[in-house]
A = this chain, B = another copy of it.
Amino acid sequence: MSLTVQKYGGSSVDNAERVRNVAKRITDAYKAGGEVVAVLSAQGDTTDELIEKAFEINPRASKREMDMLLANGEQISISLCAMAIEALGYPVVSLTGWQIGMHTDSEYGSARIKRIDGSRIRAELDRKNIVLVAGFQGINKYDDVTTLGRGGSDTTAVAVATALKADTCQIYTDVNGVYTADPRIVKGARKLDEITYDEMLELATLGAQVLHNRSVEMAKRYHVPLEVLSSLESCPGTKVKEVVNMEAMQVSGVARDNNVARISLTNLPDVPGMAFKLFSLLSQQKINVDIILQSIGRGNNKDISFTVAQTAARQARDVLEEHKDNLGYEELIIREDVSKVSIVGSGMVNNPGVAASMFEALYRAGVNIQMISTSEIKVSVLIDRAQSDKAVQAVHEQFFGG
């Protein structure tokens, strides 16, 4: 018998009507003869309402108590959805994080999953029950409630699918799949039937925001077949798997990320250890650096430019200015009016012309490239934000047609 793990996000269970809609989808899968486990997020605004209540009482509440509070959101979702499934006449049982034995570390607010004791879910499936699981939550070794942080429910779904050796893990969202580019900004963006884990990872990192990286990483590690589907429409989604059948396709998607800022330090002394000094300062502040560009030395000096998330730019500037004497640079320049545009595709490994083809499209569109970064399955460029719509469109047309 086939086992499907489904995951529905907060907007999919936002109100009674949507809960009933999700119940219908779950029971349709059950009726088709398979075993079904569905992981649910908290209803739309529940988490925000709980955070607001907490903030009114103590803006600096401990993360332990915050997790104790927030875990209620998912528990409310699963019991309400179970009631909707009961109303449709199907056997169902809802289970919290501790009931399914979802063991995590003790990093309240962003706990990592250590293991799932799948026996309770297995027993319920053997009793022919549909099983609803509270996403986003677990317990640590003290039996205290933890939450998994951003993308937590996706990660719960993949972890449950892994523990139960599910045949497929379906992630239902408000989009109906993974596209070659953001359909809101790119004319002619096409839905992909399939994509590899690695491509999905690059796209997630690059701001495609369909699936959280953690869940894709875990799916890749444990070979869980993922599928991204719409919870509102009924149509095939995008399958995420190890290898896809499209060797001919060099590029699977074009992504844009506006949460980026470029920082340049000019006239740094050209001595060994300078890059180490600079980037270890930033990493101590937990600031992630993305693209790095170092000029070749001019005399005894050189320039270093790098990008960080725009949300981290101010913090980066503060720490760099604090250590100006120690680093010995002349000027610090921050530019926030930039975007990163990337192409992703596992096919490009064996196609050396892909990067050049992207640069050609940008050149024709009159877009100037500030920085370039490449990996085996990705090419990213930093450009003026004002030109980014045009750039994404031009690059998409280059690889996918008009």
Residue positions of A touching B, CB distance < 8 A: 16, 19-20, 50, 53-54, 56-58, 60-62, 64-66, 68-69, 71-72, 75-76, 78-80, 82-84, 86-87, 92-94, 96, 98-99, 120, 143-145
Contact = CB atoms under 8 A, between A and B. Distances in A.
Given A53-B80, A68-B79, A99 B143 contact: yes
Contact of A57 (B57, B75, B80): B80
B76 A80 contact: no
A16 B53 contact: yes
A137 to B, nearest CB: 12
Q: Which residue among A75, A80, A86 has the maximum number of chain B CB atoms within 10 Å of its CB? A: A80
Given A54-B80, A56-B16, A86 B72 contact: no
Nearest to A120: B143
B94 A57 contact: no
A98 B145 CA distance: 11
A54 B82 CA distance: 10
Nearest to A99: B143
A225 B386 CA distance: 74
Contacts of A50: 76
Contacts of A94: 65, 68
B76 A58 contact: no
Given A65-B79, A79-B69, A87 B57 contact: yes
Contact of A83 (B58, B72, B82, B86): B58
A171 to B, nearest CB: 24
B143 A57 contact: no
Contacts of A76: 50, 53, 69, 72
A397 to B, nearest CB: 47
B72 A84 contact: no
Contacts of A68: 75, 78-79, 82, 94, 96
A20 to B, nearest CB: 7
A167 B370 CA distance: 73
B65 A87 contact: no
Contacts of A83: 54, 57-58, 61-62, 65-66, 69
Contacts of A16: 53, 56-57
A155 to B, nearest CB: 22
A306 to B, nearest CB: 39
Given A16-B53, A56-B16, A57-B16, A69 B65 contact: no
Nearest to A70: B79
A16 B55 CA distance: 10
Listed residue (A20, A50, A99) with the most chain B CB atoms within 10 angstroms of its CB: A99
Given A61-B83, A64-B93, A65-B86, 19 more contacts: A19-B57, A20-B57, A57-B80, A57-B84, A58-B83, A58-B84, A58-B86, A60-B86, A60-B87, A61-B86, A62-B86, A65-B82, A65-B92, A68-B78, A68-B94, A69-B76, A72-B72, A72-B76, A99-B143
12 contacts: A57-B83, A58-B83, A64-B93, A65-B79, A65-B82, A65-B92, A66-B83, A68-B75, A68-B82, A69-B76, A69-B79, A72-B72
A71 B68 CA distance: 13
Contacts of A58: 83-84, 86-87
A57 B18 CA distance: 10
Q: Which of A16, A60, A72 is most buried by chain B, counting CB atoms within 10 A of its CB? A: A72
Nearest to A20: B57
Contacts of A53: 16, 76, 80
Contacts of A82: 61-62, 65, 68
Q: Of residues A58, A61, A144, which shows the largest number of chain B Cβ atoms within 10 Å of its Cβ?
A: A58
A113 to B, nearest CB: 20
A260 B257 CA distance: 71
